[in-house]
Amino acid sequence: MNTTSQTTIVAPPFHGDSAQHTSKESLSDKALRWALGMAWSLKPPRTLGVPATLWMVATHYAGLRKIEEGVLDPETALSYPDGLVGICHDIGVESLMAGYKAGLYPFSHIGPHKWWAPSMRMVLRLQDFHMEKNLRRRLRNNHFNVTFDRVFEDVVQGCGEPRPGRPRLTWVTPDVVDAYVALHEAGHAHSVEVWDAHGNLAGGAYGVAVGQVFITESQFTRKRDASKVGFATLNCHLQKWGFVLNDGKHHTNHLAQAGFQLMPRSQFNGLLARHASIEGKKGVWAVDDALDVGNWDPKAGAQ
């Protein structure tokens, strides 16, 4: 970012891809995740989707469900629970990318991984990105330093950390971390790192690039506004690199304030099909210091 620096902020040097992930989920952590996951599923209105989900999972574990071949059709998604398409038997690189290109994404707190394609997607057309004045001030004063693809695995693990005041429930289990690290090493998944003045990781985000569409998987913050600074920097670069959409998947107040809007699944999948085959930003991503994110005008940069 080309900003007026008030504080010298140092990020750790780049060491290539993150170290290979080796930790495993303990039995106690797994038991807690299952207990919290079941409680989460039984909270209204999610209870409406419990029968269909239980039937799908039960037949899967009983060996009664035929393994689906190829990529599932997102238009066959259930209404209850909204967007459930089927069991995700493989979270390898090829399987995940085929799913993403079809408008699916994997998610599961408990049980087997599942493919989802909700009826409405929370999508940002990059020219509609909105930054509050306080965020622009943060960017201009250079409170944080932002990098891309420096410590991808650390960011994914940070996204799995418990949120203050919320249940200690996450779908970012060790096998999920491994899967996205593999996607990163294959050049499809990318991370945003936000560093404080002491070189500590203060926040970040990660997601998957599909042609000219970026799917934001998750964000986290350890210091106020850190993730917002990283997200603004990411979206500014996405527009510069020719991306047209950033998909946030589900509605949140944070995304709505940033300019994301709900889009019907069929419309989203049509745009995805149009732009997924166009080659996007290749290789390891890096922040362009010539970009003045604090003074970025998204509408002026629209194609």
Counting Cβ atoms within 10 Å, is residue 164 exposed (0-12), middle (13-18) or buried (19+)? exposed
Q: Sorting pLDDT into bands at 50, 70 and 90, what band is 66?
A: low
Residue 8's pLDDT is 45
In whole angstroms, how far apart are CA 284 and each of 149, 170, 187, 262?
6, 27, 7, 30
Listed range (3-17, 111-125, 165-179) with the worst mean pLDDT: 3-17
Listed range (6-15, 157-166, 206-215) with the worst mean pLDDT: 6-15
Nearest to 273 by CA among 249, 250, 245: 245
Q: From the centroid of its chain, how far is CA 135?
A: 21
Establish how many alpha carbons lie within 13 A of residue 236's alpha carbon, considering only the half-sphere containing its beta carbon: 27
Q: Would you say residue 5 has pLDDT above 70?
A: no
Of 84 and 162, the one with more pLDDT: 84
Handedness of CA 140, 145, 150, 153 (dihedral sign): negative
| Tokens describing residue 278 | 């166009």
Of 169 and 39, the one with more pLDDT: 39
In the chain the domains, ranked by start, together with CATH numbers, are 27-118 (3.30.70.3550), 122-295 (3.40.630.70)
Buried b (16+ CB within 10 A) or exposed e, 60-83: beeeeeeeeeebbebeebbeebbb
Asked if residue 294 lies in contact with residue 125, where contact means CB atoms within 8 angstroms, the answer is: no
Q: Would you say residue 40 has pLDDT above 80?
A: no
Q: What angle do CA 9, 14, 19 make, to 5 degrees?
A: 125
Average pLDDT of the segment spanning 28-39: 74
Q: What mean pLDDT is reported for the chain?
A: 88
Per-residue pLDDT tens digits for 115-124: 999 999 999 9
Listed range (43-47, 104-108, 275-279) with the worst mean pLDDT: 43-47
Q: Would you say residue 3 has pLDDT above 70?
A: no
Distance in angstroms (rounded) separating the CA atoms of residues 112 and 110: 7
Residue 110's pLDDT is 84
Residue 18's pLDDT is 43
